[in-house]
Structure 1
């Protein structure tokens, strides 16, 4: 069980890149963490519980929330970090692409957030952070990305909608909108081209996104915010 007063963060897509950075950051903040992804390994830290599963599967969301409640007794923060990005010309997207991207980016967010929110309400408050992409604000002809815009754009709108719905009940809802971040998702040989998509001329680091989430975690007057961490991408080109 958690020590009295210890906060608990649930992080999806937690095995590598930004997600793994978030697990470390929330442990440093003193939170216990429930970390989930399809391939996550058990942790050797008593303050971390790992749950393997596909976030697109509703059963995974139920298992993750149950693990948080059974092991630590509460959920204070949910970071919806799991996401996939498939860049193709619009008419090249397949049924499988559509199912995979909407399953993780939309259904995954929807189910686990719906499971976690009642816990937050019961304890008098909480914080939800969604990870989106700056392509939803500023489409780029070099990156055909309708499925990202459809799903992450929906997530961005849902962030504001949830923030307002729960503003009077102690639950804050924010998003971080990254540019392209150096994670295992992007092969080394693509880095130069990806750097060129950003007005500052370089890609971001996982820590840039993690720092933004930590800022939001410690910002009690901030809700409904879409915090761009994107090297100027959303401002223009």
Structure 2
């Protein structure tokens, strides 16, 4: 097998958007390194699974080390792992805060730092993070300050890294979705959640996957926060 075949690391890969991304990248002949706390081994020899908490630097280091050892390179990193906690601000606990910071920010920091170090060796690469449209457009009745604080940090880091690495061949972008129809949203909530979007529906996993694939192929796009939110960020 040629080491020229592209390799993508996907966090939060066991279900929902992450599982959709694994399938989409495999369909495009990428080798995939898939991580989540509960991920199980894959029968596909081109999919390497690494279980563990992305907030732990040792896990992030193992993911990148095994990607390079098994497949020889890292071309794309999709920071998909994330926690979303919708509570009134004064109802958040210290554990809620630690969990959100750990996965959404610390996890991003460790895996992105280690992946970019590998990308620099080949003078090419792409990092794309999944954030949230709520950063730009808060919604009455959806109390989500920890999501906005942590994912807003990712949006800011995306632009900063894009400029820092623009001349080194590494692009950095983000996708900011609205509410996506995944297993985390019970079917009985779908009607109310659809109403949060001007287009009148929830997003599908394919909507986010298509946005990530676009950015991965868009060689002249870096520092972009691509809203995939049914018009949420435009207004109501």
CA distance in 1, matches of 2:3, 2:230: 40
Q: How many residues align?
A: 236
Contiguous gaps of at least 5 residues in structure 1 = none
SS in 1 for 2:2: coil
CA distance in 1, matches of 2:70, 2:3: 13
Matches within 5 A, 1:88-127: 88-127=87-126
Aligned partner of 2:63 in structure 1 is 64
Measured after TM superposition, the shift of residue 185 of structure 1 is: 1.2
User: After TM superposition, what 4+ stretches of structure 1 lie above 6 angstroms from structure 2?
Assistant: none
CA distance in 1, matches of 2:98, 2:189: 26
SS in 1 for 2:14: coil
Aligned partner of 1:173 in structure 2 is 172
CA distance in 1, matches of 2:188, 2:58: 37
What are the Cα deviations for residues 44-70 of structure 1, in whole angstroms up to 9, with x where unaligned?
Answer: 111000000011111110110011011
Aligned partner of 2:159 in structure 1 is 160
Measured after TM superposition, the shift of residue 4 of structure 1 is: 3.4
Worse-superposed segment, 175-184 or 187-196: 187-196
Aligned partner of 1:131 in structure 2 is 130
Matches within 5 A, 1:1-237: 2-237=1-236
CA distance in 2, matches of 1:11, 1:198: 27
- TM-score normalised according to structure 2 size: 0.99
CA distance in 2, matches of 1:215, 1:113: 20
SS in 1 for 2:233: coil
- 8 Å CA contact 2:3–2:72 kept in 1: the answer is no
